[in-house]
Amino acid sequence: MNEINFGFLVIDKPIGLTSHDCVSRLRKLYKMKRIGHGGTLDPAVTGVLPIALGKATKLLSFLPSSKKYEGTIKLGIITDTDDLEGEILKEHPLPNIDEKKIHECINSFQGLLQQRPPRFSSVHINGERAYSKARRGEQFELPSKEITIHKLELIEWDQENGKIKLKIDCSAGTYIRSLARDIGEELGCGGALLKLRRTEALGFNIKDSLPLKDFEDNFPYIDSHLVNPLKVLNHLPKIQITLEEEISYWCTGRALIVNKERISIEKSNINNQLEFPNDLIIVINNKGILVGVGRFNCDPFTINPKIVFNAKG
């Protein structure tokens, strides 16, 4: 495994580009086909876009799933896309709303919720994306889905211009455009997303990111910013295998029988109880290099390979 091309880059995605645009440009830069992104961002949205290089693409689904944003909602406007990129359907005069009512409103959107995705979204309907049907003017209803808003924090309420600026900590699959729409409905005047920036995704923070142009202008020296996958997999328990027999078993896809006391867990990981069968665990070799991901079973305590990076025939 080429460690130079194994890891993550953290892009601060610019406005106007799709997530796929960023991947395409990096594929040309690195001359690699195996590059993928974690967590799609709309062209109008900026911020954290994790990029996986090489075999690290196999790890995207194992990274922490929650995301954080800073967004601004414009009240008094209803659009077909639930943001200001779409066609305005209705406009309402701004009611006189004090900050206390704004707080009460956003507090009601915290916790476990049922959320209806925007009509212009990538949700599949009978094998077709919702946005394709919406562009043709078709009428359809999208079912609500369960999401979690861990925290909503008011940054600023601009009464004069009807703008609410928020910090949002939410589960994967949350549509901030839908949140803007629903908050507007709750306040009785409609609302649409004006501006959005993702500040955290898949365990990466905006402070870890660099503009896409920096990667392009400074290539290849930017490799020093390649993030070791172990840095963002530390929410999972891990085990180090050092015995030749264990390494041989792992490389050939056979289960390991291990002592539970050998499992290590980061102190910061609050879910530190190995109580559930078929849970995930990362595996490192005697040099501390990631060699794969497994699932452990508690009775007997075995680790079954799920992804093996150093596989042998």
pLDDT in tens, 132-155: 888 888 887 888 999 999 999 999
Confidence of residue 277 (pLDDT cuts 50, 70, 90): very low
pLDDT above 50: residue 275: no
Containing structural domain, residue 258: 233-308
Task: Give the mean pLDDT of 118-136.
Answer: 83
The reported pTM is 0.88
Measured CA to CA, the distance from residue 40 to residue 27 in angstroms comes to 17
Are 108 and 183 in a shared domain? yes
Confidence of residue 276 (pLDDT cuts 50, 70, 90): very low
- Which residues have C-beta within 8 Å of that of residue 217, sequence separation ≥ 6? none
Token output for 186: 């709750």
Token output for 27: 């594929």
Name the active-site residue from 12, 42, 182, 208.
42
Contact 215, 95 (CB under 8 A): no
**CATH at residue 263:** 2.30.130.10
Select, from the ranges 117-126, 167-176, 288-297, the one with the highest average predicted confidence (pLDDT): 167-176
Closest C-alpha to 110, from 65, 156, 158, 171: 171
Closest C-alpha to 8, from 221, 235, 222, 225: 225
Backbone angles phi, psi at 51, to 5 degrees: -120, 125
Measured CA to CA, the distance from residue 33 to residue 43 in angstroms comes to 22
- Is pLDDT larger for residue 263 or for residue 169? 169
Are 10 and 84 in a shared domain? no
Are 223 and 243 in a shared domain? no
The confidence score (pLDDT) of residue 178 equals 97
Task: Please give the mean pLDDT across all residues of the chain.
Answer: 89
Q: Is 158 a catalytic residue?
A: no
- Count of C-beta atoms within a 10 Å radius of residue 242: 10
Measured CA to CA, the distance from residue 304 to residue 306 in angstroms comes to 6
Token output for 163: 């703008």
pLDDT digits (tens, 9 = 90+) for 15-45: 999 999 999 999 999 899 999 999 889 899 9
Are 48 and 167 in a shared domain? no
Query: Could you tell me if residue 313 is inside a domain?
Result: no
- Is pLDDT larger for residue 53 or for residue 1? 53
Domain count, the chain: 3
Confidence of residue 293 (pLDDT cuts 50, 70, 90): very high
Boundary-marking domain end, from 152, 183, 201: 201
Measured CA to CA, the distance from residue 188 to residue 93 in angstroms comes to 10
